[in-house]
Structure 1
């Protein structure tokens, strides 16, 4: 029986090549879109879950109330891990480590800037990376040792065995390679290329020797013996700051490692979501696209119902049961799904490199993974049964006596179902059009919103090695300007577009002693405002003409507002116990999130070789490439032992919009696919309607109706469907997009433009799609439809 049904299914596919092609193509695009989105969701969902005990591992966060709201960070004191390990009985391991930073590694003539993490031995016990070479049990115990990742070992030593060879660190410390581990997974929150002992960090940074509960400077990871101990451990850790320093108002909490990436947004000290919200959108998008493709299959299958009516009648007359007919139609659906899946794989393999480049990730299909094949099989069965359900039940319901007598089938009952399905498709399509338009409006609004400084031709160069000497920096500054490569040069103590240091240890006259205010604090050089292209609102900036500027600060406008200073110039501010005088107010400019209000900032003069970045304004009258070449040559001449790490500020700033760009791009692409597949659904309904009204159209033509009259007649019904879809879609789209925008302090007002665009676009798409079939019917010779009457 199965063999017979398969033969019938194949013959039907071959007989109706056009319909088969549309069906297979629609399902293939739907399946490919769904699978790419599911691959991305699986990639993001797998973040930090590669480790054996990831479910028992936690990141220690601190929460502090400041500026009227609660801030939560995964930055903790250097003393935290040892205290937890010693005093918390439910803890198996606790580790502290630095966050990855760039440092120089040298082997012979090879000089490579590598991402370095300093950590204690427990770090590699909690995050159990696979050791390719070396003894995992002895890792990080020798102060002059280093653990390399596989790719870094290859960069430094090529095909040689790196074990027990030496690496020079920052041209100072000679380190012995005691192990090689697998590269950190792409979907891991911590990316590094080598690990070094914490003792080496303390040896180089003497300030880190003392336990300091007021300095949140490292990452603390905790692995519990059992998750039953979580509630107790989380309660005990809450007041760990207070137990060691009563002046510290922060509280600590344990945040699951497996949720670190996806649930990174905190409110009132509790995780409220984050990238998981974006993943939910993509998951919904994946299944909606697949559902739209299934709906098309239903519409197209039932559109030719009269063509298969006699087949059903004959088969029922010779004894076929409805159950066997249902099986037949489900088999056809599964066969088309199988062929569509094969085609979908081709589409995926062709498009994945593009999406990987677009998303800057490495999505790939693991053909050796049993879970993948089980998931794919389940998706195929789901698609086949959903797509084939309505056609199977509808086509198998025909009455053989009426069919074989030549009576017209009462197919009107199926028309409302088709209309509902098409309306559902266009509800989704219209929602996507509106949401995508608003996402791009919001992105453009924030991109074009004044950021308070001029990014054009602004570059930053990392300060390494001998350049850390303040006197050498001043010489380099002079040479860069004298060469004509730069018009202005200054210094900054962190990456210009990233978050830096924060403190609540600021006092001033009139401050409420019970209120905590968080300030961003940055060290800057002379000519800072002129170099970055911002303004001094009042007072002056730091200058070599004023030797006492080492005892001065500058504030931004947000700080003046927060401190409620009526006369900010000359105001005395106590910064970490030192009394300093404010000499200037700087216009607010964005250095952290472009979506949030500018934080209060306090600037001090870089004096103790603590600058980490040179900020230079390239000469607009010179060729950019030539200017960059001159700057690199000057830096190399002064410090030949380090590679020149130079980047444009606007490129770094663009990274801030990565998540929103990703959401907009994926919504755009897959929204386009959804609209295209929806058009196939309209085409299916148009084919059905044209076939049902063939004689009516012919009679109208005989009576004098023009092609335009008939096109208007046929399109009118579809425009009504699209209008109904838009009426349903717009409130849904407004609710969704309003909720998304509520996460931003700087956001657009939702205008009527996206909704108007959705109406025009959806109606235009509907008219064009329907007209493709309608023109063919309207121009047909009416005699062909009426001659047998």
Structure 2
């Protein structure tokens, strides 16, 4: 019986090749999209699965309130460590203080490289359960020890055994390699931790960290914990939430609330709004999962439409089989078997498409996914997926075709019925509703990205590079290097800054100024810069003047941005003084000498933060900022800069970043989402058009006699085209009017997450509707015009 089912199914598929190609091709595309989205979703949901203690690891976060607005983040004060170790260690299995991930120069013999890593306390390797390849797990217990990941060890030592070897760090101190651990995979936190050095070393070489031991207001550190087996995240959070304000009354005004942020939420649910967790990348997981489901649904709709449309062609087959004793159950099995065969073929093609496109998809999505050939779980899920798709695509045609009455069919009185096409029309409306909604969504995502990209950033990012200066070799050499670089002809101007151009590394409070409101809780971005900072960035001075080396008093001067003027309520800012309100250690008041145009240093989707640019007295900033000579090519300038750099720093790898590329990275996530959405939208439209193409060709075939008669009676090509096209166009117009309010509601909600956002315009929806109708007309016209141009004699001779 099963063999007969397969034979009949195969004959029907090979007999109607055009419809088979459309069915299999449409399903294959839909399944390929669903498969690749499924792999992407799986990768997103498996983030941090590398860590065996994932469900027990957390980071200490705190929320603080400034002027009624609550901000949340991982930065905590150093005294918190002692407080936890003294009174709360029964809640924790491990507690680890850590620096932020930062770059260091590592040198062994003649090999010098730059790598990112962390200074962490000795429990870190145990807490993270690192896979130790060489050496020992407790590898950072000694102050002069260092652990390297496998890639870094290979880059430094090649085939040599690294254990016990001494490397030089930042030309400042020597460290002995005590362990090599497996590279943490790409889709995990700490994947960029290419080395781990002892926290005690971090403290010993940085005076400001030593001084921070009792500074509750200095939130410059981070802490990771692994909770004890006998407790929960919620219980520990309720225990520690008020520790900071209890132990330090000076912080009470900011109402600091501590809590555990679980590792399982770091990647997908990392957004906070006014102290509340409000999701994060999980929204994109849901978005693409929904897109995958809808694309598959569109492909299944094609199958159902074409199968039911061709029902009259198979009516006699059903009638004869029923008259000789076939049960309806057997007919249903037959048609479901055909559906299964089509889906199986489509799945094979879909797998081939995924395999061929996976590398390109990885590049677009910034992933490192591979096809799970060896995963039994994947193949079990695939089998379920095939059966589900076959059932979804074949159930309606099977029930519909098996319901024909044999008497009507064999007497020749069978008619499909005046409402038989209604389900197909509904399915076409569903298809194009989804497609139009996808088009609108993609256009709005790209508009939001371009809106932020075109926002004035306050400085000239073109032709600007930055060089990190983390080594002690740079200390005291700024003036010399500035003269050398400018004299080389490759650099027009150069400055230093305590943070990269595209970020803010320090925020400060505790200032007073004339007219400051009572109880005002200020929060100001703080950047130390050399006098040439504004000139090197082409920052515009809108009031007052820039720093000048001609005025010794500028060592106590400050520039503020336009947002800071409004934030601080200053009417005439130039000439006013800002001073520290610390009565025990009052600093010299800083005089405001100028106001600079707002400069975007953080997210381009957020308002510019109020900021201060303070004179760097020592010229030892963390970055050199260089304005390249516009009269030479960038490659020429870089070659000259590298030569000068190597003359003075022969033991340090030459490392630089173009600021425009760094700024572009701020849009990377949204651009990737927009690009992928656009691709999936195009595929959804293609699948819908495939179905429409198949239906049009069938309708044209079904109405061959009618078209012939009309042409004999004088109908023009336009008349025939209009007859065949208008019904489909009506369905698409209905789809548009359903899709527009749905898309508006969804995308308006998405845009609310961005304070700086595009305003939804009517033309976006109008353009999407027009595009959908145009695509429909083009798709339908091919078959309609072909039918209209056919010779009526041939079509009438067949009767």
- Given the alignment of the two structures, is residue 312 of structure 1 paired with residue 318 of structure 2, yes or no? yes
Alpha-carbon spacing, 1:393–1:227, altered in 2? closer, same or farther (3 Å): farther
Cα deviation for residue 524 of structure 1 reads 0.8
CA distance in 1 between partners of 2:399 and 2:230 (Å) = 50
Aligned to 2:257: 251
TM superposition shift of 1:112: 0.7
CA contact (8 A) 2:475 2:620 kept: no
The answer to whether the Cα contact below 8 Å between 1:150 and 1:183 also exists between their aligned partners in 2 is: yes
* Corresponding residue to 1:631 among 616, 641, 652: 641
Matched with 1:622 is 632
Aligned-pair distance for 1:675? 0.3
- 1:763 maps to what in 2? 773
Matching residue of 1:128 = 129
Taking the TM superposition and a 5 Å limit, the aligned residue runs for 1:644-659 are 644-659=654-669
Give distance in 1, aligned partners of 2:111 and 2:259: 43
Q: Which residue of 2 aligns with 1:155?
A: 155
Find the counterpart in structure 2 of residue 183 from structure 1. Answer: 183
Q: Look up the match of 1:712.
A: 722
- Deviation per CA, 1:148-189: give whole Å up to 9, x if none: 111111111223332233322223333222221111121123
Quick check: 685-694 or 727-736, which moved more?
A: 685-694
Kept in 1, the 8 Å contact 2:504–2:527? The answer is no
* C-alpha separation in 2, matches of 1:227 and 1:421: 54
Structure 2 contact 233–262 (Cα < 8 Å) conserved = no
1:429 aligns with 2:435: yes
- List per-residue Cα deviations over 1:558-598 (Å, max 9, x = no partner): 11101101121121212474222211111111111111111
Alpha-carbon shift at residue 428 of structure 1 (Å): 0.9
CA change 1:308–1:227 in 2 (3 A) is farther
How big is the shift at 1:235?
A: 1.4
Question: Distance between the aligned counterparts of 1:155 and 1:3, measured in 2?
Answer: 61
Aligned equivalent of 2:384 = 378
- Tell me the secondary structure at the aligned position of residue 378 of structure 1: helix
Q: For 1:401-416, what aligned pairs fall within 5 Å after superposition?
A: 401-416=407-422
Q: Which residue of 324, 331, 339 corresponds with 2:337?
A: 331
Deviation at 1:612, TM superposition (A): 0.7
- CA distance in 2 between partners of 1:2 and 1:575 (Å): 87
Which residue number in structure 2 is paired with residue 590 of structure 1? 600
Deviation of 1:49 (Å): 2.8
Deviations 1:309-331 (A, max 9, x none): 12211211121111111111111
Give how far 1:764 is off: 1.2
Once the two structures are superposed, residues 206-233 of structure 1 have per-residue CA deviations (whole angstroms, 9 ceiling, x without a partner) of 3323343222222211222248432221
Distance of 2:184 and 2:221 partners within structure 1: 19
Tell me the residue number matched to 2:22: 22
Aligned length: 787
Provide the C-alpha distance between the structure 1 equivalents of 2:701 and 2:445, rounded to a whole number of angstroms: 41
1:641-699 deviation line (CA, Å, top 9, x unaligned) = 11111111100000001121012101110000000001012123323432443332222
Q: Establish whether residue 357 from structure 1 lines up as the match of residue 363 from structure 2.
A: yes
Q: Is the 8 A contact 2:439 2:681 kept in 1?
A: yes
Shift of 1:514: 2.4
Tell whether 2:504 aligns with 1:503: no
1:81–1:221 contact (8 Å) kept in structure 2: no
More deviation in 387-396 or 504-513? Answer: 504-513
Q: Which position in structure 1 is the counterpart of 2:117?
A: 116
* Deviation sequence 1:715-771 (CA, Å, 0-9, x none): 111111111000111111111121121122222221122222112211111111112
Q: Aligned to 1:178, what secondary structure does the other structure show?
A: strand
Q: Distance in 1 between matches of 2:491 and 2:135?
A: 49
- Which residue number in structure 2 is paired with residue 233 of structure 1? 236
Report the Cα distance in structure 2 between the residues aligned to 1:616 and 1:663, rounded to whole angstroms: 33
Structure 1 residue 776, shift from structure 2 partner: 2.7
1:404-483 alignment, distance < 5 Å: 404-470=410-476, 472-483=477-488
Q: Distance in 2 between matches of 1:413 and 1:503?
A: 72
C-alpha separation in 1, matches of 2:469 and 2:711: 82
* SS class of match (1:773): helix
Name the SS for the 1:54 alignment partner.
coil
Measured after TM superposition, the shift of residue 788 of structure 1 is 5.8
- Alpha-carbon distance between aligned partners in 1 of 2:526 and 2:241, rounded to the nearest angstrom: 27
Report the Cα distance in structure 2 between the residues aligned to 1:334 and 1:197, rounded to whole angstroms: 60
Relative distance call for 1:374 and 1:215 in structure 2 (3 A) is: farther
CA contact (8 A) 1:553 1:604 kept: yes
Aligned residue in 2 for 1:702: 712
Partners of 1:539 and 1:788 lie apart in 2 by 91
> Distance between the aligned counterparts of 2:354 and 2:91, measured in 1?
47
Deviates further, 776-785 or 350-359: 776-785
Q: Given that residues 23 and 302 in structure 2 are in contact (C-alpha distance below 8 angstroms), is that contact kept between their aligned partners in structure 1?
A: yes
Cα deviation code 1:372-425 (max 9, x no counterpart): 222222222221111111111111111112222223332443311111111111
1:738 maps to what in 2?
748
1:434-482 CA distances to partner (integer Å, 9 max, x unpaired)? 1111222221121111111111211111114355323x11111112112
**1:68, distance to aligned residue in structure 2 (A):** 4.1
| Counterpart secondary structure, 1:247 | helix
Shift of 1:512: 3.1
Q: Note the C-alpha offset of 1:306.
A: 1.8
Asked if residue 64 in structure 1 is aligned to residue 64 in structure 2, the reply is yes
Contact 1:80–1:220 (Cα < 8 Å) also in 2: no
Tell me the residue number matched to 2:497.
492
1:753 aligns with 2:754: no
Kept in 2: contact 1:234–1:253 (CA 8 A): yes
